[in-house]
Amino acid sequence: MKFTAVADVFLPEEYYKNALEKYPGYECLGIPYFGVPDRTVMREIVHGIEKKGSEACDPPAELWDLIEETEVLMVHLCPVSRKLLEKAKNLKLILVNRGGTENVNVEAATELGIPVLSNPAHNANAVAEFTIGLMIAETRNIARGHGALMNGTWRERFANSGVIFELVNQTIGLIGFGTIARLVVKKLQGWDVNVIVYDPYVSENDPDLVKYGCKKVELHELLSTADIVSLHARSSGDKPLLGAEELALLKPSAYLVNTARSYLVDYDALYQILRDGKIRGAALDVFESEPIKPDHKMLTLDNVTLTNHRGGDTVNSYSDSPAMLLCEAKKFHEGDFDSVRFWKNKKDTIKK
């Protein structure tokens, strides 16, 4: 199979080459580079793609020269537009080294009979670990205590002083029950917490709900009963999943954790209820504009833990992904469709 990959600052050429050594059945036509070697600039580019889709910017010029011969295309952040797909006369499979496929015109790929496999698990473990870390950091004032000591202060009083609880017996509410949320639940086994889940696309009889003792509830019930609400969903981004009305349902003692997408929450409304003490605190790893500006309102609050989009940023989450995807591609090529973890097209649209 003739193979082309597109590297970027997060997923360099060597990661693809290492993966291809494990799966030698591919003839690598080339590995062009997308974007710039600056992570901050690339995050802005990615935000543009997530909002505007595969037509937001152009792929590297070299890819246009390789795409006609390419049978398997692997990308990470590089956009795959309709125009590029229409030139890909021999393309049989698109592999995406991330959970979302906003950078790929899946509709065009489906029309052309080209399956799209993505990799929602590539950074799932990293984000799941980070999520639990933020739960503890915010509720136990870890970052605030550290910051105070670094500035020469032995701090004894915090916004939640006198009402600081351990995780044991707390109710954790997960909005979305995909790959990351399931890993969060798995990792919380043994912490003696209660887990409730809102996800309209998951059955009440889902095996993992049963396995981990989770209860599926409606959104309003989750928001009004959870001690910690953690977001693990995706949406169109047209309107926040948690606007002012939904945030008003949170208990005064609740904490909100967002390691998913900033557009899931109305941050202006969140700021107001944090400022007014209507919820106890929040931990946020994602923002509407990154990096956040020095005058961002959230920076004025003492009941937030803020991190700079570090949830999925581990070596493993990038270096392991190409080999994970090539493993899925192998199953796909062998016709083992039922065991392929995540693909976007129906079987009857597959290009033979």
Convert the pLDDT of each residue in 28-73 to its tens digit.
Answer: 999 999 999 999 899 889 888 988 999 999 999 999 999 999 999 9
Write down the mean pLDDT value for the chain.
Answer: 94
Known catalytic residue at 14: no
Which CATH number is 2-122+314-349's, of 3.40.228.10, 2.30.30.90, 3.40.50.720, 3.40.640.10? 3.40.50.720
Band (pLDDT 50/70/90 cuts) for residue 168 is: very high
Average pLDDT over residues 155-165: 97
Which CATH number is 124-306's, of 3.30.450.20, 3.40.50.720, 3.30.530.20, 3.60.15.10? 3.40.50.720
> Does the structure show a pLDDT above 80 at 345?
no
Band (pLDDT 50/70/90 cuts) for residue 100 is: confident
Share of the chain above pLDDT 70, in %: 96
Question: Matching CATH topology for 2-122+314-349 and 124-306?
Answer: yes
Known catalytic residue at 261: yes
- Catalytic residue selected from 47, 140, 309, 341: 309
Band (pLDDT 50/70/90 cuts) for residue 291 is: confident
Residues in contact with 96: Cβ distance below 8 Å, sequence separation at least 6, in sequence order: 74, 75, 76, 103, 104, 116, 117, 118, 119, 325
Known catalytic residue at 43: no
> Does the structure show a pLDDT above 90 at 352?
no
- Catalytic residue selected from 98, 122, 232, 261: 261
What is the reported pLDDT for 177? Answer: 97
What is the reported pLDDT for 336? Answer: 81
Q: Residue ranges per domain, the chain?
A: 2-122+314-349, 124-306
> Does the structure show a pLDDT above 70 at 349?
no
> Does the structure show a pLDDT above 90 at 83?
yes
- Catalytic residue selected from 290, 296, 310, 341: 290
Tokens of 273: 């209820």
Of the candidate ranges 60-64, 146-150, 155-159, 345-349, the one whose mean pLDDT is the lowest: 345-349
Q: Where are the beta strands (DSSP E) in the chain?
A: 2-5, 27-30, 72-75, 93-96, 116-118, 171-175, 194-198, 215-216, 228-231, 255-258, 281-284, 304-306
Of the candidate ranges 114-123, 252-261, 294-303, the one whose mean pLDDT is the lowest: 114-123
Between CA 332 and CA 320 the distance in angstroms is 19
